[in-house]
Amino acid sequence: MEIINKYFSDFTPKQQQQFEALEAVYKEWNEKINVISRKNIDSLYEQHVLHSLSIPAIADFPDGNQVLDLGTGGGFPGIPLAIFYPNVQFHLVDSINKKLKVVEAVVEALGLENVTTQHTRIEDIKNRKFDHVVSRAVAPLKDLWFWSKPVLKKSSPEHWVNMKHGLICLKGGDLGQEISESGTRPMLTEIYELFPEEYFKEKYVVCVPC
């Protein structure tokens, strides 16, 4: 938790309590259903929570926004974002139901009222639009963008600079070929510039406006 407070200092007491509670809840549930590699569960706050919070470090979700976490896995980046933005609604989806059992347990333990879950694939979500889709290392950018476009609200070009609507994903490594194959022109932010920790070298926040 110390590494979170190193970069964020304006949490409410409730948010601070919720972030602090994450470790115990995840360690308990990870023993039952392995959703986080056991070799880095002790690095939960750096490698999972702070990594997720690189999104609000460069983008803002206004109150009332609807955000879909595609392939949420154990709840990242969705759960840290839901704590960070208590007035934004987060819909966490995954095709593997047992992972969502952990997510739902964490949501209940933390008392998060702005999170819903759904056992589904994003391509099966119909008649619902979101302001943003967020994702972490789920698939190539080409696929993420293909899946996300149908569920994203549209924004006019003048709003693109403010990333009013779009896909925000966390990725690492050399993204040149992946971006080229996606046919998109994303905005990239190197996370190491936000959080100068060794773990974040060659990791990026990738934003594709819609």
Would you say 33 is a known binding-site residue?
A: no
Tokens of 116: 């819903």
Q: Which helix (H) or strand (E) holds 170?
A: strand 166-172
Could you tell me the pLDDT band of residue 163, with boundaries at 50, 70 and 90? Answer: low
User: In sequence order, which residues have a C-beta less than 8 Å from that of residue 83 and are 6 or more positions away?
Assistant: 15, 18, 19, 110, 112
The residue among 79 and 138 whose pLDDT is bigger is 79
Could you tell me the pLDDT band of residue 158, with boundaries at 50, 70 and 90? Answer: low
Strand order in the sheet with 132-136: 115-119, 89-94, 66-70, 132-136, 166-172, 203-209, 187-190
The residue among 81 and 32 whose pLDDT is bigger is 81
166-172 vs 203-209, strand pairing mode = antiparallel
In the chain, the percentage of residues whose pLDDT exceeds 90 is 82
Would you say 123 is a known binding-site residue?
A: yes
The predicted structure's pLDDT at residue 118: 96
Would you say 183 is a known binding-site residue?
A: no
pLDDT at 165 over 90: no
Average pLDDT for residues 144-155, to the nearest whole number?
92
| Start-end of H helices in the chain | 2-7, 13-32, 44, 51-52, 54-58, 78-84, 97-110, 141-148, 176-182, 191-194
Distance separating alpha carbons of residues 188 and 206, to the nearest angstrom: 5
pLDDT at 206 over 70: yes
What is the reported pTM? 0.94
The residue among 193 and 160 whose pLDDT is bigger is 193
Domains: count for the chain: 1
Range(s) of the domain holding residue 170 = 2-209
pLDDT at 164 over 80: no
Could you tell me the pLDDT band of residue 127, with boundaries at 50, 70 and 90? Answer: confident
* Angle at 36 (CA atoms; ends 74, 27), nearest 5 degrees: 95
CATH of the domain at 49: 3.40.50.150
